[in-house]
Structure 1
Amino acid sequence: MQKRKIYLIIASFLLAIVIGAVIVFAASDQKATVTNAPTEVVPSETDSSENPDEDPTVSEEEADNSSDIKDAFQRLLKDTLGLFIKEDLHITAVGDSLTQGVGDETENGGYVGILQQTFEQTDDRVKIDNFGKRGNRTDQLLKRLNDPVISASIENAHVVLITIGANDIMKVTKDHFTELDYDDYSAAMPAYEERMKEIFDKINTLNPDAEVYLIGFYNPFEENFPELKDQLGTIIDEYNAIGEQVTEEEDQHYIETADLFRNQTGSLLSDDFFHPNEVGYGKVAERVLESIKPVIQEDDE
């Protein structure tokens, strides 16, 4: 138990550094996201015909990442073109920085932006509203669901996508930084579960016909901080299990992402070692599209 406590104290120190970096980055970010209105996804101005390998200023790693994201985009496009998508499909995305797309160096909106760009390549009319906000916890998202613009978007949505929960874990770390123990995380789980239920209940009240998908989170410390892998992995798994259980009880959907990042965080995370890079978001976008296919397809006549 003492060894476990020591590891968790180390984890809290590293997470506090991440929190501080996020706060500083947020304060200096001149492109603040409007949180009570849909975020416009702006297509990249980069010519897709350019070969990064021919540019001497592009590193080998950047070229590999560019190739990976293009491959992911092509797979998404292929899958999307094969669908008969419902007319005027409306998707609403809410949640934290993973919905906002923090870490996506292309500044195209993370997995939500990749989905938007993919649908734009088809003849289908798909509207996607992105209400992701960096740092959001479950209690903060609950309050934001009362925003008239967000609630109106959910009321008209066929699909609602959610990323939430990672910042709830980070709050426990901050609140018990000096004497952190696994029991602190465990004690916070019942209230976390209750807030998750309230989020789903609120969305169901706004739109009982919407299909809601909770996107699970991953362990960002697997490769960069292997000494924390097991300890934090256990905590993340338990919080994810709560989210999955709530979706089952609400007759909704859970999308796992932990397996996508397992043993690959070194190549799928951004420079902050916490958020996905564009390649990581590409993998999430593929998984999300695969999961929502049965819902967004037009019914056979």
Structure 2
Amino acid sequence: MYKKIRFLTILIFALIITAVLSTGFIYSISITNAPSKNSTSIVKDKGSENKAVNTKIKKLDSNSYNILVMGDSLARGTGDESNRGFANDFSSLWRAKAKKPIKVINIAVNGDVSSGLLNIVKDQQNLQYIQDSNMIFISIGGNEIKNFRSTDASSSVVQPNNEKAVQNSYLKNLENIFKLIRSKNQNSIVAFIGLYNPFGDDLTADKLELLNEWNYKTEDLVSSYDNAVYIPTYDLFKYNSQNYLAADNFHPNSAGYEAISKRIFESLKNFKN
């Protein structure tokens, strides 16, 4: 009888110990798998590993000479058979003056206009690029003014009032772009690439006058800012359009981009960098 009671006591005690150990084990697992209070949760969606990573502001390497390129398809390098564009051609010429490895960041968008570029410049990532850049290239306006080529009197794009409105809007956008650039970076060299005439004699006299006025007012605005220079290209293409234009007869080819890069280098070679 005594042995039976002793056996039951030991059995009950063993069951209690087992239950306590099991509860502790389960609780320890729950602590291990719980998110840390100090950790940041990662939210995934289709096509993206982590939105926080995608939107994180990245700084350019301070050990490199950073060139930022913005604007339209000409800034992008469209038409260049070598896929270099004027910025990469220029960087080859500038390497000796930079005394650092050159890094080119290109945020240009094919088909863009001044209002689109203003929105791009407002982006936090691109403002960080501006802040970290030693030099900034801008090409914009070609897609706005090319619509004036039409000679159809019934078309609204050739009406003088509309042309003036487009020009005024462009100049206002450009002014705001420069203000944003200078609010983030007072010291970077800013080079603005002027417009050329890709249409040759097909451009009527009044439209040619508009192009010249457009370039003149752009140069006047750019020159009002320190460390900013307007790069004329009209004369380069006026006498070399057959050699400098791509197959689309609008964008520069490789030789055209190289000519632009050399013009930029000659204009900037005396700037302190």
Give the structure-1-normalised TM-score: 0.63
C-alpha deviation, 1:191, in angstroms:
1.9
Higher relative contact order (CA 8 A, sep 6+): 1
The 5 Å alignment of 1:102-251 reads: 102-108=78-84, 110-118=85-93, 124-170=100-146, 178-179=155-156, 180-222=158-200, 226-228=201-203, 230-251=205-226
Q: In 1, are the aligned partners of 2:67 and 2:135 still within 8 Å (CA)?
A: yes
| Separation in structure 2 between the aligned mates of residue 210 and residue 98 of structure 1, nearest angstrom | 21
Q: In 1, are the aligned partners of 2:69 and 2:87 still within 8 Å (CA)?
A: yes
Residue ranges of structure 2 left out of the alignment (5+ in a row): 1-56
Structure possessing the higher radius of gyration over alpha carbons: 2
C-alpha deviation, 1:276, in angstroms:
0.2
Q: Which residue of 2 aligns with 1:288?
A: 264
Q: 1:187 to 1:115 in 2, by over 3 A?
A: same
Give the structure-2-normalised TM-score: 0.69
What are the superposed Cα offsets for residues 240-298 of structure 1, whole Å, 9 maximum, x if unpaired? 1121011122232111111111121111100110000000000001011122222355x
| Separation in structure 1 between the aligned mates of residue 91 and residue 104 of structure 2, nearest angstrom | 7
Q: In 2, are the aligned partners of 1:219 and 1:229 still within 8 Å (CA)?
A: no
Which residue identity does 1:197 align to in structure 2?
A: E
Q: In 1, are the aligned partners of 2:246 and 2:252 still within 8 Å (CA)?
A: yes
Q: 1:287 to 1:177 in 2, by over 3 A?
A: farther
C-alpha deviation, 1:130, in angstroms:
1.4
Q: 1:205 to 1:172 in 2, by over 3 A?
A: farther
Q: Which residue of 2 aligns with 1:58?
A: none
C-alpha deviation, 1:184, in angstroms:
2.7
What are the superposed Cα offsets for residues 84-140 of structure 1, whole Å, 9 maximum, x if unpaired? xxx7322111111111000001222x1112224455799741222111211111100
| Separation in structure 2 between the aligned mates of residue 172 and residue 259 of structure 1, nearest angstrom | 20
Q: Which residue of 2 aligns with 1:273?
A: 249
Which residue identity does 1:186 align to in structure 2?
A: K
Residue ranges of structure 1 left out of the alignment (5+ in a row): 1-36, 39-86
Aligned residues: 209
C-alpha deviation, 1:227, in angstroms:
3.5
| Separation in structure 1 between the aligned mates of residue 235 and residue 223 of structure 2, nearest angstrom | 20
Q: 1:106 to 1:121 in 2, by over 3 A?
A: farther
RMSD, matched Cα: 2.7
SS of residue matched to 2:230: strand
With 193-202 and 226-235 compared, the bigger mean Cα shift is at: 226-235
Which residue identity does 2:135 align to in structure 1?
A: V
Q: Which residue of 2 aligns with 1:98?
A: 74
